[in-house]
Amino acid sequence: MSKYLVNKFLYTIDRDHELTERYRDDPAGTVTWWEQEMAGRILNCITAETTTWLSFTDAERTALATHDHVALFELGAHPFLALTLWIAMFERDFTEPLGMQLDYAEKLAHVRMPYPDIST
Amino acid sequence: MADLVAVLATTHHPFYYRTSQLPPDQAPPFAAEWISKIATYRETLTRARPDVLVMVGSDHFHQLWLDNMPQFLVGKAPLYDANWENEVREFGMPKLLLRGDEELSAYMLRQGLDKGFDLAFSNELRIDHSITCPILTVRPDADLPIVPIYTNIFAPPLPQPERFVQLGRTIREIIESWPSHLRVAVIGSGHLSLELGGPRQFGPTGPDPEFDARAVEWISNGDIDGVLKNVTLDSLHAPGNATHGFMDFMLMMGVAGYQKADHADSLSLFHTMEAYFTWYPNPHLLDAPSSLTTPGGRA
């Protein structure tokens, strides 16, 4: 499990408009690029200080590469980070107010308490 | 010493600003009542005539991140830029620039450290909607200096609820011992029951109206013992997966002490119960209420 790295992906993609659009348009390619080039970057540090040991599990990589927010929830990704990024990417595809958010919730309707642990 | 003139505890709903800007013919049906309640609430701060605002909120993974996460952090800067690009994008929030009060920030840090809270600090803090929402509702001119205080209600492991109450008490002690002639208000924002990114999000009401009703009672009555008896880090998962933001209300109960709120109001919206509370620790320092104040609260 590398919940921290999944959260780092969601966090860094959400806060950069260009990366948000890139991830919307090419999820698998963006995840591959990001894991190779960006996953180890400590924020505010030069590339010489790149972390050497961070990587996704197969399940995490697949969930991210397929825009599978249900799997991300089940893996314990931080729900606020996932939701915020999904709003940025997909709210535009719905015509009704909060349509995206309600669809997002409906796809999680099978989830029961307690929710997966989001501790990192 | 400084005067503590008002203590405000409020939900922060990032959709309020955009809703309040809509022409009446485009506004949703709940907008008029919401705007009216906010106007009444704003007056509870205005009549206290504060000179400086201590603002308690929680960074939503904007500047504070999992590689370096403080539990409690005090801003110490002459100015604070405010709101982030994804808040502009998602909520239509405006960018703001707020003045700081470095003297009170320094005093808060020194005294807090000496009173048992190992506070983190930031000299360059871009604050987010947990603080700007209440600025936009109760002080929309954004003309007063602030001391921002961030709590971690977001990234477990979190401090225990008791610790939030204790920090609130300590903040009050620090303000009341500050050698200054200024009038200080403390404004904290949090949530009642809330679900974000889960199956119960964005329902017709908040995810747990029963919890919300109990929470309003605890806060209105200053029932610190009751809330501490009933609320734990584990129990807060049940009302909704983002309900740990309620601990910022508990912090504000610590500031207010065992006192009934002088103003208590709430509004059930889609998605959340909004709630607004004000205490006046020193009522003799207040202006008379204006005509805006309604029987909706006790102020």
The backbone torsions φ and ψ at residue B277, rounded to the nearest 5 degrees and listed phi first, read: -135, 145
* Digit-coded pLDDT (tens) for B5-61: 999 999 999 999 999 999 999 999 999 999 999 999 999 999 999 999 999 999 999
Q: What is the pTM of this model?
A: 0.96
* Digit-coded pLDDT (tens) for B230-261: 999 999 999 999 999 999 999 999 999 999 99
Cα A119 to Cα A2: distance, rounded to the nearest angstrom: 11
| Angle at CA of residue B248, ends B246 and B252, nearest 5° | 120
Cα dist from B227 to B86, B158, B186, B222, B224, whole Å: 34, 17, 20, 9, 5
Whether the pLDDT of residue B296 is over 50: the answer is no
Whether the pLDDT of residue B293 is over 70: the answer is no
Note the pLDDT of residue B173. 98
Peptide bond into B157 cis (omega under 30): yes
For residue B198, the chain A residues in CB contact (below 8 A) are 73, 79, 105, 108, 111, 115
pLDDT-based confidence at B287, cuts 50/70/90? confident
Whether the pLDDT of residue B294 is over 60: the answer is no
* Digit-coded pLDDT (tens) for A19-42: 999 999 999 999 999 999 999 999
Mean pLDDT score of chain B:
96
The answer to whether A118 contacts B85, with C-beta atoms less than 8 Å apart, is no
Q: Cα B288 from chain centroid?
A: 24
Note the pLDDT of residue A51. 96
Whether the pLDDT of residue A117 is over 80: the answer is yes
Cα B22 to Cα B35: distance, rounded to the nearest angstrom: 11
Say if B249 is an interface residue toward chain A (CB within 8 Å).
Answer: no
Whether the pLDDT of residue B4 is over 60: the answer is yes
Say if B169 is an interface residue toward chain A (CB within 8 Å).
Answer: no
Encoded tokens for B133: 């929402």
Q: Tell me if A102 sits within 8 A of A28, measured CB to CB.
A: no
A-B contacts at Cβ under 8 angstroms: 75
* Digit-coded pLDDT (tens) for A38-90: 999 998 899 999 999 999 999 999 999 999 999 999 999 999 999 999 999 99
DSSP conformational letter for A41: P
Total Cβ atoms within 10 A of residue B133: 24
* Digit-coded pLDDT (tens) for B49-83: 999 999 999 999 999 999 999 999 999 999 999 99
Whether the pLDDT of residue B222 is over 90: the answer is yes
Q: Tell me which residue of B80, B67, B193, B66 sits closest to B145, measured CA to CA.
A: B80
Cα B245 to Cα B236: distance, rounded to the nearest angstrom: 9
pLDDT-based confidence at B289, cuts 50/70/90? confident
* Digit-coded pLDDT (tens) for B146-167: 999 999 999 999 999 999 999 9
Q: Tell me if A63 sits within 8 A of A71, measured CB to CB.
A: yes
pLDDT-based confidence at A6, cuts 50/70/90? very high
Average pLDDT over residues A81-105: 97
Whether the pLDDT of residue B215 is over 50: the answer is yes
* Digit-coded pLDDT (tens) for B82-105: 999 999 999 999 999 999 999 999
Note the pLDDT of residue B288. 83
Whether the pLDDT of residue B202 is over 90: the answer is yes
Note the pLDDT of residue B299. 39
Q: Tell me if A61 sits within 8 A of A35, measured CB to CB.
A: yes
The answer to whether A80 contacts B237, with C-beta atoms less than 8 Å apart, is no
Residue A94 CB burial class (10 angstroms; 0-12, 13-18, ≥19): middle
Say if B96 is an interface residue toward chain A (CB within 8 Å).
Answer: no
Q: Return residues 189-208 of B near A (CB < 8 Å).
A: 196-203
Note the pLDDT of residue B292. 55
Considering only CB atoms, B196 lies closest to which of A14, A42, A80, namely A80
Cα B183 to Cα A19: distance, rounded to the nearest angstrom: 46
Residue to test with chain B: of A49, A50, A81, most B Cβ within 10 A: A81
Instruction: Go through the domains of chain B in sequence order and give each one's CATH number.
Output: 3-285 (3.40.830.10)
Percentage of chain B lying above the pLDDT 90 cut:
95
What's the 3-state SS for B96-153?
Answer: EEEEECHHHHHHHHHHHHHCCCCCEEECCCCECHHHHHHHHHHCCCCCCCEEEEEECC
Q: Residue B90's closest chain A neighbor by CA?
A: A88
Q: Tell me if B92 sits within 8 A of B17, measured CB to CB.
A: yes
Note the pLDDT of residue B291. 63
